[in-house]
Amino acid sequence: KNQVEQSPQSLIILEGKNCTLQCNYTVSPFSNLRWYKQDTGRGPVSLTIMTFSENTKSNGRYTATLDADTKQSSLHITASQLSDSASYICVVQGNTGKLIFGQGTTLQVKP
Amino acid sequence: EAGVAQSPRYKIIEKRQSVAFWCNPISGHATLYWYQQILGQGPKLLIQFQNNGVVDDSQLPKDRFSAERLKGVDSTLKIQPAKLEDSAVYLCASSPGAGIGYGYTFGSGTRLTVV
């Protein structure tokens, strides 16, 4: 069964600290992996999209990594800000075109 | 570029009542999606349109949910009659096409509470 599992389920960090969110997937065949940020009461917004051949991609303070061999991805947030408080969703697109969503990691950044 | 517009933002109804949600995608986007997102979970695809045709509605509870995209532009999603378990955020998204690699743009969603 095609699945996307994220960890941790929730995370609290202090402003200015770094953090890393994890995503494991079993989707096969695999086309690309996306990370989305979803603020409370808003729709998901794309942060990064990586294909099979890409190992890392950055978007400002967000850096995503992908290991297609182990089917693992991570999202690293550097120097966190209060505005980083949100849910982060890992999404895998298979060769059918369908998006398979993880359940998300809820990040809370405290001052 | 204007985003995906959805209305209303919030809706509270009693069980067994009906409700409708509206979505206006990004201009020129051929593909439109409706997702259901229950609190604490990732979005679940309800229906996918390519222009005004249905591509995938395999997870749409067709006994109570219906959707249409007349003229291939905006779309409505209807629930009739609503159940308590339909309480969720209903997200509309659009993309230029349905193939691999297209970016999705999501609306802010409609939060439905069924009491």
Nearest CB to A103 within list B41, B56, B101: B41
Angle at alpha carbon of residue A43, lines to B53 and B26, rounded to 5°: 45
A31 touches chain B (CB under 8 A): yes
A61 touches chain B (CB under 8 A): no
- Which pLDDT score, from 0 to 100, does residue A97 have? 85
> pLDDT digits over A67-98, tens only?
999 999 999 999 999 999 999 999 999 888 88
Interface test with B, best of A54, A99, A106 (most B CBs within 10 A): A99
Indicate the pairing of strand B10-13 with strand B110-114: parallel
3-class state of residue B72 by DSSP = helix
Question: How many other C-beta atoms can be found within 10 angstroms of the C-beta atom of residue B103?
Answer: 12
Angle at alpha carbon of residue A44, lines to B104 and A94, rounded to 5°: 50
How close does chain A come to B107, measured CA to CA in Å? Answer: 5
Nearest CB to B42 within list A42, A49, A102: A102
How close does chain B come to A30, measured CA to CA in Å? Answer: 10
Nearest CB to A95 within list B4, B100, B111: B100
- Region label for B101, one of left (φ > 0), alpha (ψ between -120 and 50) or beta (otherwise): left
Interface test with B, best of A42, A51, A54, A90 (most B CBs within 10 A): A42
For residue B11, what are its two tokens? 């809706």
- Which pLDDT score, from 0 to 100, does residue B1 have? 61
pLDDT tens, per residue, chain A with 111 residues: 779 999 999 999 999 999 999 999 998 888 999 999 999 989 999 999 999 899 999 999 999 999 999 999 999 999 999 999 999 999 999 888 889 999 999 999 999
Please give the Cα distance from B11 to B50 (Å, whole number).
Answer: 27
